[in-house]
Structure 1
Amino acid sequence: MEQFLQDAFLAVLNMSITAGYAILFVLLARLFLRKTFKIFSYCLWGVVLFRLISPVSFSFALSFFSFMKKDTMEHIPAGLGMMAQPQVDLGVNYVSQAVTSSLPAATPMASANPMQIILFAASLVWVLGFLSLLAYSLISYGLLKGKVGQAILVRDNIWECHTIQSPFVLGFLKPKIYLPPGFSEGEKSYILKHEEIHIRRYDYLIKPLAYFLLCLHWFNPLVWLSFILMTKDMEMSCDEQVLKEMGQEIKQDYSRSLLSLALSHRMIGGSPLAFGESSAKSRIKNVLNYKQPTFWGMLAGAAGILILSLGLISNPESSQSASANLNLNYAAKISAAQDQLIIRVHGQGASLITGEEFGEWLAGASGGWTEKLVSSPYELSPTLTVYVNDGTEGYRLHFYDSEKGLAMLSGDGDFRYYTIPPQQYEQVYSLWGSHSYFIPEVVVQALMEGKKTNRQSVQDIPDEKDYRVIEVGREVYYLYQKDGKYYCERPYLFIREITEESYKGALTFAHKPSGSRQESLKESSPEAQEIAQLIEDNLQTIMSSPGQSSNPDDYIKAHDMAYESIIKYGGENALPYVLAQFEAGNAEGLRGQILMRLGKELLGVRNNVSDESLSPQEWYSRLQIRREVSLPDFAYQGNDPVAQLVYQTEVQKHKGRQGFCVVAPHIFAGYREDGKLKVFVTTYAQSFRLYDNVLAEEGGGIVPAAITYREGADGSYTLESYEQAQDGAYFGSSIREYCVMPVSGKPIEGLAEEILNHYGDYSDIIKLQRENLAEHLQRNNRYGVFLHQSHYQKPAELIPVT
């Protein structure tokens, strides 16, 4: 209950701050509108009502709140009471800073932060004030209802009552007009017309709503002022409508009636929608100055009010990011979805952390972050960077040793700065230091820096014959040069152009692809001797410390660079030497444990022994290396001719040099025009290698595409073009570009949105791909097959397929 009360108070407080700015705008607008018709001023108060009652709105480029440079109106963050150093953003920098500096910081070891106590006390005061004003209005309404209990019906909804002093409207569902006796026929006609207009415009509902919102925001003096002025504008606009309908010739009589009511003290203030509860002097002056409106005058006024209302109702568009996904919640979400993330200390190197670990940390820590509004990036070099991959160029979260209370989220050229608790910088730094998988700085520079290119990365291996492979945890990168330029490629995601210096530095830690090194398997070759020396040198380093531990993993963690050197530089060629040590009986004790771990990692899915409790020699004695089984690529067996074309094309486009390919397309539509057929699909393509009865995933991806065929005279089709969605910031626009008819190029309405929406949930083709895989294996008489599913820092799984 306490938390609910505080959340409600903060929600009202945020709306009140935004409404306060809207009130100031309306007050300024009223100065310019003072000689125009009061209906315009009255309508503007609707904007204030909206801001007082709605915590959300839409974004608009011409919003009058653009000075806030933010697309949210959360001035007081929901987690204010939990922040180590509370921060507020009131829209004006120096005001925000002054208020923030006055807020008490958290007290270490205390049961509650001072701000929590202040917020709870403030929320109690707020709710008591709200209930008091609401109770006052209900009691007043009940007393007024009792006064008119003896009223006499005159006609329709008009009643006469001897116990009241002023005319007014009362009721919500069926409003009634109550008149005191003693009015002349002329005065009565004006009064009735005035009250009828109130009822016709639903003022009898608007004013109680405004009063209810006044009760909610009773602590805001601007709301009290706006309620008073809104009531005044309501009455004067109603006076103007009376003159418009009854004619300007009644201005003198109407003014005298107002004056007579005022002199006889027959005006009651605060009564809902009464004839004369507002200032008599202002109303009389307004009546005497009234002129019949012209059509063009009303049109111009309505247009102006519409523009003002749109500017005040809408929130500003974010000035720092065109991407709706550039926010902390999304960054935490996609972090948690990754097996691994790279965290880097610039100049020192990087390490790997699990995405789940960092995603959970960011989701919890960012509750105390406040966005810091700046027009351009600071000239600060980050000390720490977490590379949060989202399948395109990726988000990057930067931290600064020189300003530990600052963080920046960036992606695709956009950025957002945040003020953070300074101690969280140390928490991120400890994440970097607590993981043993180390990535040298020269490798990080090659993998994570460089210039984005428009070249598509959609192949398991690059076209270039001479390339090198860098493996970072479970991720694979390719390094190569072409036409005098140097590139780093991550398959299916990106290709970046890098400097010659970065390329050459990273080559030290890269290796040749396994298929090109078969000749080096001869033990007598110089290459085999180099591999043996590499393994033995690094084994000695690994076994050197810590001497007091009996856990082999402690030795590997202490010398992870040496262990990774064997894996990276030795690769497949290291496996014969490792297994030969077991055959020769040279794999006992600590040496044997480390060699067993190397053997398991080098074998991967080919390792048939799953028992982790075995000694090194027991493991080797049970080892029967799984042999690869050759299977053809998947072939569609259905009767749909369009599907037949699509399956054939997608298999040809995605099959690798090794293993077999299985595809699963979602076919959105096919369009024919002047002898051409254009089919729009999103395809999940995956290559596999089968070792005995265990499948290994070799590479795959999910890519939208447009495939165009030319129809021959005999009814056959020839592939003419294959257009794939580009990666990164060009993803959506590239899809929209190819969603056109095959010949005329006319855009196909709604198709691009359908493809993009499907890409947000492609579970159908994931299911279809698994079904196609099972069907393909059974068609080739392969039963009892399992899929080897590996996980970073977690045991692998064998998932049954057939």
Structure 2
Amino acid sequence: MNTAFIAVLLMSATGSLLVLCLALLRPLTAKTLTATWHYRMYLFVVLFLLVPVGIVGGNLFSTIPNTTNQGLPNVPAILNDMITVQQTDRLPPQTGQALPQTEPTALTLAAPVTTVFILKTVLSFLPLIWLAGVFVFIILHGIQFVRFRRKILGTSLQIDDPGTLLALKNLMTEMGIKGKLQLLSNTIIKTPMLAGLFKTLLILPEVAMSERELNVILKHELIHFKRRDLWVKSLTLAANAIHWFNPAAYRLTKNIDTFCELSCDEQVVSDMNREERQFYGETILNVLCRVIHQHSGMYATLAESKKGMERRLTHMMNVKNTSKPMVIISFMIAAALCFTGLATASVMNAAGEEKSSVGESNTPDDTYAGGNYLWPLTGYHVISAEYGSRMHPVEKAMVFHDGIDIPAPGGTPLLAANTGKIVEKGKNVTDGYYVILDHGNGQKTFYAHLSGYAESLANDDTVQQGDIIGYVGKTGDATGNHLHFGLTVDGEYIDPMSVFTQEN
């Protein structure tokens, strides 16, 4: 879920930038480019909000920043890197050769440890808060839709008038529309509307209309049906649900609704003369006037406000065929917006990857060992404490955990993760019984909290990968039976999970 949350944040930022760009261009494009162009550009933004579009052409967005094991489990890397703690929860062995250990390379933390822990905890809950918001958005709109559908279906009547049905059939044939539409009439809606994705209903207000008025009204709704505008609005609503926290998503939804109607008007009047366009506008006004005293509600699809109607009427009267220079300009602006979106997604994704990689380990490269280490406990793969900052179970303070803890029953055989030489075995208050193996090339593994060693195991012995070197216990600073497994390269701890074979 954390990966999805990071992806949503990046997509939301990209979409917001595109909405802003369209808003800044609006004074220019509104006068020179068509409503259909604006409608398609806003649909283009929806694509960026629903899909990590950066994967197209050059793998620009293919890798969402990985989460890191540092900090509380499952905290997104980008958020987790904001806070680090310069403290370790274990002391180096107190006998013989000290196990090399360096402090995590991090910014000095001025706030108290408790404040850091609270802040990290809050950040770790952000993905859950986002997911809860998505569910609330869907539930609220789902309830609204169910109530609307129930009310509409409960108050609608089937239209059986032969003239109306014939007009609908002729227009569908003329416009090359295939599929079925159920024609209904209703007294509570103000204007004609479409409803339903799979079983589409065309609902007309229950008012008297001339044959000419009926034709232009049906043509308007059939264009919506042919363009599948209901599906477009559904996808827009899905984007709004995913990005419920982003004001730009709500503005995008409103703009799509507006330009959906304006672009539909453009198509209706594209082959009309001025007198026919005036009649079309008057038809919309007449329908509204005839139902002015009927029930009002949230069911009208056409603009009802005075300002909205004035904009639509003015627009449809001034629709012109797009000239070739304007077509070229529209393509250039669209290409510029496409490039801006892809470039933004790529840059943000690259920044996220870089930030994530900084927090993943204390060394620049965790893949030095080639993934050839063996899991040290056969049959036990659950990790109770991961590598990274955590709340210490005994000391109750934020500390840096330099390895992984694997719980297992006391006495479980402990296997050498790789062939190496025993450079130290001993006991101290923190680690209990421990063993250190040197594997060459600056690589060492550390096994702690053992209940005992394998028989005849001694310093300077060479053990093979898979040999038993000890047994799980809870000696030292431990609350239960488990193995603490650590890995260092040139004296620096790294995440051991990066070196195990695929079979592990």
Q: Distance in 1 between matches of 2:284 and 2:5?
A: 42
- Verify the 8 A CA contact 2:219 2:268 in the aligned structure 1: yes
Q: What is the percentage of aligned positions where both structures have the same residue?
A: 19
Q: Does 1:173 pair with 2:184? A: no
Q: Aligned residue for 1:128?
A: 136
Q: Does 1:236 pair with 2:247? A: no
User: By how many angstroms is 1:249 displaced?
Assistant: 4.3
Q: Does 1:301 pair with 2:326? A: no
Q: Distance in 2 between matches of 1:366 and 1:137?
A: 47
User: By how many angstroms is 1:125 displaced?
Assistant: 4.8
- Relative to 1, partners in 2 of residues 1:366 and 1:194: Cα closer, same or farther, differing over 3 Å? farther
Q: Distance in 2 between matches of 1:337 and 1:75?
A: 20
User: By how many angstroms is 1:230 displaced?
Assistant: 0.7
Please list the CA deviations of residues 498-548 of structure 1 after superposition, one character each: whole Å capped at 9, or x if unmatched.
xxxxxxxxxxxxxxxxxxxxxxxxxxxxxxxxxxxxxxxxxxxxxxxxxxx
Q: Does 1:28 pair with 2:24? A: yes
Matches within 5 A, 1:611-650: none
Q: Aligned residue for 2:236?
A: 210
Q: Aligned residue for 2:319?
A: 290
Q: 1:40 aligns with which of 37, 40, 52?
A: 37
- Verify the 8 A CA contact 1:252 1:288 in the aligned structure 2: yes
Q: Kindly indicate whether structure 1 or structure 2 has the higher relative contact order, using CA contacts under 8 Å at least 6 residues apart.
A: 2
- Relative to 1, partners in 2 of residues 1:55 and 1:254: Cα closer, same or farther, differing over 3 Å? same
Q: Distance in 2 between matches of 1:148 and 1:61?
A: 52
| Partner SS state of residue 54, structure 2 | coil
Please list the CA deviations of residues 148-205 of structure 1 after superposition, one character each: whole Å capped at 9, or x if unmatched.
2443352134735252431112232353433223223333232122112111211122
User: By how many angstroms is 1:37 displaced?
Assistant: 0.3
Matches within 5 A, 1:375-774: 427=402, 553-554=458-459
Please list the CA deviations of residues 462-495 of structure 1 after superposition, one character each: whole Å capped at 9, or x if unmatched.
xxxxxxxxxx96669xxxxxxxxxxxxxxxxxxx
- Verify the 8 A CA contact 1:42 1:230 in the aligned structure 2: yes
Q: Aligned residue for 1:408?
A: none
Please list the CA deviations of residues 358-406 of structure 1 after superposition, one character each: whole Å capped at 9, or x if unmatched.
xxx9x965899xxxxxxxxxxxxxxxxxxxxxxxxxxxxxxxxxxxxxx
User: By how many angstroms is 1:105 displaced?
Assistant: 2.7
Please list the CA deviations of residues 695-744 of structure 1 after superposition, one character each: whole Å capped at 9, or x if unmatched.
xxxxxxxxxxxxxxxxxxxxxxxxxxxxxxxxxxxxxxxxxxxxxxxxxx
Name structure 1 gaps, 5 residues minimum. 64-69, 90-100, 340-353, 369-421, 429-434, 439-471, 477-550, 557-596, 605-609, 613-802
Please list the CA deviations of residues 574-599 of structure 1 after superposition, one character each: whole Å capped at 9, or x if unmatched.
xxxxxxxxxxxxxxxxxxxxxxx7xx
- Verify the 8 A CA contact 2:182 2:201 in the aligned structure 1: yes
- Verify the 8 A CA contact 2:193 2:202 in the aligned structure 1: yes
Q: Distance in 2 between matches of 1:203 and 1:117?
A: 37
Q: Distance in 1 between matches of 2:142 and 2:51?
A: 20
| Partner SS state of residue 161, structure 1 | strand
| Partner SS state of residue 156, structure 2 | helix
Q: 1:337 aligns with which of 344, 363, 370?
A: 370
TM-score by length of 1: 0.36
Q: Distance in 1 between matches of 2:20 and 2:249?
A: 10
| Partner SS state of residue 179, structure 1 | strand
AA partner of residue 20 (structure 2): L
- Relative to 1, partners in 2 of residues 1:337 and 1:38: Cα closer, same or farther, differing over 3 Å? same
Q: Distance in 1 between matches of 2:457 and 2:69?
A: 48
Q: Does 1:143 pair with 2:139? A: no
| Partner SS state of residue 297, structure 1 | helix
AA partner of residue 192 (structure 1): L
Name structure 2 gaps, 5 residues minimum. 81-110, 170-180, 377-382, 391-397, 404-420, 425-437, 443-455, 470-504
- Verify the 8 A CA contact 1:106 1:115 in the aligned structure 2: no
Q: Aligned residue for 1:311?
A: 340
AA partner of residue 28 (structure 2): F
AA partner of residue 173 (structure 1): F
- Relative to 1, partners in 2 of residues 1:179 and 1:117: Cα closer, same or farther, differing over 3 Å? closer
User: By how many angstroms is 1:234 displaced?
Assistant: 0.7
Q: Distance in 1 between matches of 2:6 and 2:441?
A: 45
Q: 2:272 aligns with which of 224, 246, 256?
A: 246
| Partner SS state of residue 203, structure 2 | strand
Q: Aligned residue for 2:501?
A: none
- Structure with greater Cα Rg: 1
User: By how many angstroms is 1:223 displaced?
Assistant: 1.6
Please list the CA deviations of residues 241-288 of structure 1 after superposition, one character each: whole Å capped at 9, or x if unmatched.
11213344423223333444455566988648x344672122112123
AA partner of residue 240 (structure 1): E
Q: Distance in 2 between matches of 1:159 and 1:276?
A: 22
Q: Aligned residue for 2:117?
A: 106
AA partner of residue 283 (structure 2): S
- Verify the 8 A CA contact 1:80 1:115 in the aligned structure 2: no
Q: Distance in 2 between matches of 1:47 and 1:227?
A: 12
Q: Distance in 1 between matches of 2:69 and 2:43?
A: 27
User: By how many angstroms is 1:62 displaced?
Assistant: 13
- Verify the 8 A CA contact 2:70 2:387 in the aligned structure 1: no
Q: Aligned residue for 1:51?
A: 48
Q: Distance in 1 between matches of 2:65 and 2:439?
A: 40
- Relative to 1, partners in 2 of residues 1:83 and 1:245: Cα closer, same or farther, differing over 3 Å? same
TM-score by length of 2: 0.54
Please list the CA deviations of residues 433-457 of structure 1 after superposition, one character each: whole Å capped at 9, or x if unmatched.
xx9989xxxxxxxxxxxxxxxxxxx
Q: Distance in 2 between matches of 1:78 and 1:248?
A: 68
- Relative to 1, partners in 2 of residues 1:333 and 1:246: Cα closer, same or farther, differing over 3 Å? farther
Q: Does 1:190 pair with 2:187? A: no
| Partner SS state of residue 235, structure 1 | helix
AA partner of residue 227 (structure 2): R
- Relative to 1, partners in 2 of residues 1:145 and 1:203: Cα closer, same or farther, differing over 3 Å? same
- Number of equivalences: 351
AA partner of residue 308 (structure 1): L
Q: Distance in 1 between matches of 2:353 and 2:124?
A: 35
Q: Aligned residue for 2:185?
A: 161
- Verify the 8 A CA contact 2:269 2:277 in the aligned structure 1: yes
Q: Distance in 1 between matches of 2:76 and 2:350?
A: 26
- Verify the 8 A CA contact 2:190 2:287 in the aligned structure 1: no
Q: Distance in 1 between matches of 2:30 and 2:69?
A: 40
- Relative to 1, partners in 2 of residues 1:256 and 1:53: Cα closer, same or farther, differing over 3 Å? same
Q: Distance in 2 between matches of 1:367 and 1:254?
A: 68
AA partner of residue 175 (structure 1): T
User: By how many angstroms is 1:40 displaced?
Assistant: 0.9
- Verify the 8 A CA contact 2:53 2:342 in the aligned structure 1: no
Q: Aligned residue for 1:225?
A: 251
| Partner SS state of residue 34, structure 1 | helix
- Verify the 8 A CA contact 1:195 1:275 in the aligned structure 2: no
Q: Distance in 2 between matches of 1:125 and 1:319?
A: 28
AA partner of residue 42 (structure 1): Y
Please list the CA deviations of residues 749-786 of structure 1 after superposition, one character each: whole Å capped at 9, or x if unmatched.
xxxxxxxxxxxxxxxxxxxxxxxxxxxxxxxxxxxxxx
AA partner of residue 251 (structure 2): L
Q: CA RMSD in A?
A: 5.3
Please list the CA deviations of residues 36-95 of structure 1 after superposition, one character each: whole Å capped at 9, or x if unmatched.
1011110011223223322463266899xxxxxx97666998998647898549xxxxxx
Q: Distance in 2 between matches of 1:74 and 1:277?
A: 46
- Verify the 8 A CA contact 1:236 1:286 in the aligned structure 2: yes
